[in-house]
Amino acid sequence: MNLFSAIRVALIALRVNALRSALAMLGVVIGVAAVIAMVSVTDGAKQAMEERIASFGANLLIIRPGSSAFGGRRGGAGTATFLNDEDVEALANEIDGVTGVSGEISGNTALVVEGDNWTTRVQGVHAAYFETRDWFPQSGRPFYAEEVESGARVIVLGQTVVNELFGASDPIGQIVRVGSTPMEVIGVMSEKGQSSWGTDQDDTVFVPVSTARDRILGYQLGVRDPVFTIYAEISPAADPEIVTADIEDLMRIRRNIQPGAEDDFDVRNLGEFIRARNETENQLGLLLAAAAVISLLVGGIGIMNIMLVSTTERTREIGLRLAVGAKRSDIRNQFLIESVVLCFTGGLIGLAIGIGAAAYIDSLDQFPIQIQPTVALIAIGASAFVGVFFGFYPAHRASRLDPIEALRFE
């Protein structure tokens, strides 16, 4: 019997017991559908997380004031002496492996344009901020170092602010009143979307740090030229751990921290966050793989059980075929093909259901979805393998029946 004839006979045999065949395939269908849906959601979430991390800056160190201590009482994070422009210059000039450094000072202020107003976050930054954060204007230009030094009244707007105050009109060259200070719009930032914390990164404006301190925010923080945060971009060729250690040593010297004393500043490395995320994704991948294996094993056991029942029911048919000259290998291959057809068909149905479930989840806009063709092929291949693995014993048992005893079977 050739392969096509064997497949045709297998389909006829499965169609005769359609309900039983459908129940046998159910485990494989559920297993493959669950794998496709879960992996699609997981891959989509992974891609979204990578995009958000990339938008924040993967090779970025964040330096902030730490906790203060006075008279045995400790303040919270950020209560220590603020950083300043001299710290920014020192990090840029004295630390190897740092390609860009910018300070930031921020606060919420109302912007007014011809009677329309919008309260947003005003970020006072240095000229290197845009390169350090890898975020540039999509139209217009950023401000220059000379404008930071002179305290120029220039402003770069985020997309949300543009939509709220200007609508479809071009804001470049127009005047925006920030608080009580009129400022010229010189650029509009490219759209960045939500951050990992769910905040709108486009609902912000950028001004020279000196302008923010002197004309807009007016903070009195007890230090000259203060900044809340310093962003330091690390060269891809540099070792983040070495650069972090060098920055910590320099900051201890600048802030007169004695050996053994606790640091009053904090250096955060986003690379550590990325490594933690990768470890979590690997663990989640192992859990998904374990769930897939268990589902397919359950489905395979169901297939084996049905094939053993089928072998018993068709004992006289097997004996008749052997009596008229069929080879034992033909009998074995016949039942093995039936098992593979069951699993392969179940795999195809499960694939369709899994893709449909992933598409439905995507339509809810709750989770990003990414369907990988490779995963679909692996799932179908695994279902076929289950058919061969769990169908071999029933097929072998059928081929070893004695023709005389099989013909006597009632």
**Token pair belonging to 318:** 């097997």
232 assigned to some structural domain? yes
Q: Are 122 and 216 in contact (CB under 8 A)?
A: yes
pLDDT recorded at residue 127? 93
CA-wise closest residue to 104 among 257, 5, 197, 206: 206
Residue 62 domain-assigned (yes or no)? no
Of 218, 243, 263, which one is at a domain's C-terminal end?
A: 263
Instruction: Specify the pLDDT at position 167.
Output: 86
Strand residue runs (E) in 258-327? 265-269
Name which of 95, 76, 25 is nearest 247 in CA terms: 95
Beta strand ranges found along 154-203 (DSSP E): 154-157, 175-178, 181-189
| Residues 114 and 251 occupy one common structural domain | yes
Q: What is the pLDDT of residues 344-387, one digit of tens each?
A: 888 888 888 888 888 887 777 666 677 777 777 877 787 777 77
Residue 13's H or E segment, with its range, is helix 3-16
Query: How confident is the model at residue 305, as a pLDDT?
Result: 77
Contact 209, 227 (CB under 8 A): yes
For the ranges 9-18, 65-74, 290-299, the lowest mean pLDDT is seen at 65-74
Does a structural domain hold residue 64? Answer: no
Sorting pLDDT into bands at 50, 70 and 90, what band is 72? Answer: very low
Average the pLDDT over each of 46-50, 132-136, 351-355 and give the range with the smallest value. Answer: 46-50
Number of C-beta neighbours around residue 185 at 10 A = 23
In a domain, 149, yes or no: yes
Check whether residue 257 and residue 284 sit in a common domain. Answer: no
Percent of the chain surpassing pLDDT 70: 79
The reply to whether 67 falls in a domain is no
Contact 155, 208 (CB under 8 A): no
Summarised one tens digit per residue, pLDDT across range 183-224 is 999 999 998 877 656 678 899 999 999 999 888 887 666 678
Q: For residue 55, give the amino acid letter.
A: S
Token pair 């339509």 is at which residue?
A: 363
Q: Give the Å distances, CA to CA, from 329 to 6, 13, 197, 387.
A: 12, 18, 63, 17
Identify the band that residue 142 occupies on the pLDDT scale cut at 50, 70 and 90.
Answer: very high
Q: Which ranges of 115-158 would DSSP assign to H, the alpha helix?
A: 129-132, 145-150
Question: Which tokens go with 202?
Answer: 């486009």
Q: How many domains does the chain have?
A: 2
Q: Is residue 250 part of a domain?
A: yes
Specify whether 208 is located in the same domain as 152.
Answer: yes
Class of residue 177 by CB neighbours under 10 A (exposed 0-12, middle 13-18, buried 19+)? middle
Ranges 10-19, 47-56, 110-119, 396-405, most confident: 110-119
Where among 235, 263, 291 does a domain terminate?
Answer: 263
Q: What is the pLDDT of residue 403?
A: 61
Cα torsion through 151, 152, 153, 158, rounded to 10: -90
Higher pLDDT, 55 or 335: 335
The pLDDT value recorded for residue 199 is 77
Nearest to 382 by CA among 19, 22, 26, 31: 31
* Arithmetic mean of pLDDT over the chain: 80
Q: Dump pLDDT digits (tens) for 243-289.
A: 989 999 999 998 888 888 888 888 887 666 666 666 776 677 677 76
Range of the domain at 281: 3-52+275-408
With H, G, I as helix, E, B as strand and everything else as coil, classify residue 55: helix
Query: In this predicted model, what pLDDT tens digit does every residue of 170-194 receive, in sequence order?
Result: 999 999 999 889 999 999 999 887 7
Residue 54 has pLDDT above 90, yes or no: no
The verdict on 207 and 352 lying in the same domain is: no
151 shares its domain with 285: no
